Chain A
Amino acid sequence: MKTAGVDVGSLAGKALILEDGRILSWGLVPTGPDSAETATEAMDAALKQAGLTLGDIEFIVSTGYGRVVVPFAHKNITEISCHAKGSNYFFPGVRTILDMGGQDCKAIRCDGTGKVVNFAMNDKCAAGAGRSMEVMADLLQIPLVDIGPRSLNVEKGEVSVSSTCTVFAKSEVLAHLRQGAPTNDILAGLCAALATRVYGLLKRVGIEPEFVISGGIAKNVGVVARVEQKVGLKASICFEPQIVGALGAAIFARETLLKQQKKPVTA
């Protein structure tokens, strides 16, 4: 049985194909202006890698902020549910999830089956979302992937960034640069500020092990290390933290199909 999950996020589109509960392939593409196109691109990438066509997939669930416009999806489910489901696949003991995407951040509590019991979310403000890191990478003209490692390599001492708002923080960072602060020290301050923001969200739902971080920000070692320090727990991170939502969606697709097949056929 082949099912798929498509997660159309604000900055990346993800698709994943599941065969009898095993991950066959996935695709990861940047989100374009048209969400439906992004979904198709991600799906095509996953299909190509598995050597399949869309017709081979029996059931597709979409998720993410663009989930309602995915033209080939049979059903859509919120990203909160999908992230809990996907995290449970990799880490069956998971109880607390921090999912930080491009334009939002979620703290999710789930039970042993990956069912959501509580969550808190910030999708109103760029501070505390992955987007703030993109803005800063752009401002400091360094690759996004360098932020984490460089933030752990402090030269003189962490420079604290006191503005919450990303727009105001940009001016503050520029002022620090003018005063001669090393870029690494500013990056340390930015990662620490982001960690503080998301820790607030985690505290609202309560933290219980096992603790999982998913979403693009899980690839930033500087933020992960600082969140772990605040939480006091080591975070479990799967090999590709950006596909967790799509994986959850693909699992929901499989469960839906299994449920349908169990029903007696009424002619």
Chain B
Amino acid sequence: MLSIGIDAGSLTTKAVLMEESKVLSRALVHSSTRNAAVAAIDECLAKAGLKAGDVLAIVATGIGRNEVAQATGHATEIICDARGAVQALPDARTVMDLGAESSRLIRCDSSGRVTDFVLNDKCAAGTGVFMDAMSKALRVPMPDMGELSLKSTQDVNITSMCVVFAESEVVSQIHRKVAKEDILSGIHKSIATRLYGMLNRVGNEKQVVAVGGLARNIGVIKWIRELAGTEVLVPEYPEYAGAVGAALIAADRNKS
């Protein structure tokens, strides 16, 4: 049984091709690409040496899920994230999805079924957009931010919650010659504090797992661990959790 899960996010579109619970191929394209979903699906099929007719079920998730023409079904990102996270790390009971324009805190059971969740998609603070803005203000590429922040020797607090205000605050700290590493550490602490607040609202039970593109940022994960006083695990391909969940749901639906 072959299935595809496609996660059309605000920044990137991810597709995975699965055979039962085994991932055969993955693809990630920028969502601003023309026909991003088609491109991601085609890439997945090509990598696995298959063609569209071989796949019976395609479930789309993410903010752009309704625009995926090939989809045989849809599911919310919350349901897919939880399913994908439990698939990657079976002990996951609290899932943090750190996306580009939204963040979600999800509680689920051992089968990946959602029991509770908190969502922020109203405010850019606490989302990847915040990190993107800070990356530009400091001229540090996104992938380097986390590592560099770990070299901090001095505590710096970013007091502004709003991304717009935080930008000015960071610029004024650059003017005051505060070390980049220290500002970065403050930035990571700031976003982690927001996420920790959400974590407290859903409660953390057993294993906390972070997924989504921002889960690759070690600085954010470090601060969440520190604030929550608990281990936070990150699967090998955190950005694909939603797509994996969607592919599993596609297979389920096709069976029943």
Contact = CB atoms under 8 A, between A and B. Distances in A.
A33 interface: yes
A126 B122 contact: no
B228 interface: no
B175 A135 contact: no
A132 B165 CA distance: 10
A163 B120 CA distance: 12
B229 to A, nearest CB: 26
B122 A164 contact: yes
A125 interface: yes
Interface string B111-154: 00000000000111000010001000000000000000000000
Contacts of B168: 10
Nearest to B124: A167
Interface in A108-165: 124-126, 131-132, 135, 163-165
Given A33-B172, A33-B175, A168 B164 contact: no
Contacts of B124: 165-168
B162 interface: yes
Nearest to B176: A33
| Most interface-central of A131, A166, A168 (chain B CB within 10 A) | A168
Given A33-B175, A167-B129, A168-B101, A131 B123 contact: no
A124 B164 contact: no
| Most interface-central of A124, A126, A135, A166 (chain B CB within 10 A) | A126
B161 interface: yes
A87 interface: no
A81 interface: no
Nearest to B129: A167
Contacts of B162: 124-126, 166
Given A33-B172, A125-B123, A166 B164 contact: yes
A125 B160 CA distance: 9
B133 A167 contact: yes
A139 to B, nearest CB: 12
Contacts of B40: none
Contacts of B176: 33
Given A33-B175, A164-B122, A167-B124, 15 more contacts: A10-B168, A33-B172, A33-B176, A125-B123, A125-B161, A125-B162, A126-B165, A135-B164, A163-B122, A165-B123, A167-B163, A168-B101, A168-B122, A168-B124, A168-B129
| 5 smallest beta-carbon distances between A and B, as pairs | A126-B164, A167-B124, A33-B175, A126-B162, A165-B124
12 contacts: A33-B176, A125-B161, A125-B162, A126-B163, A126-B164, A126-B165, A164-B122, A165-B123, A167-B129, A167-B133, A167-B163, A168-B101
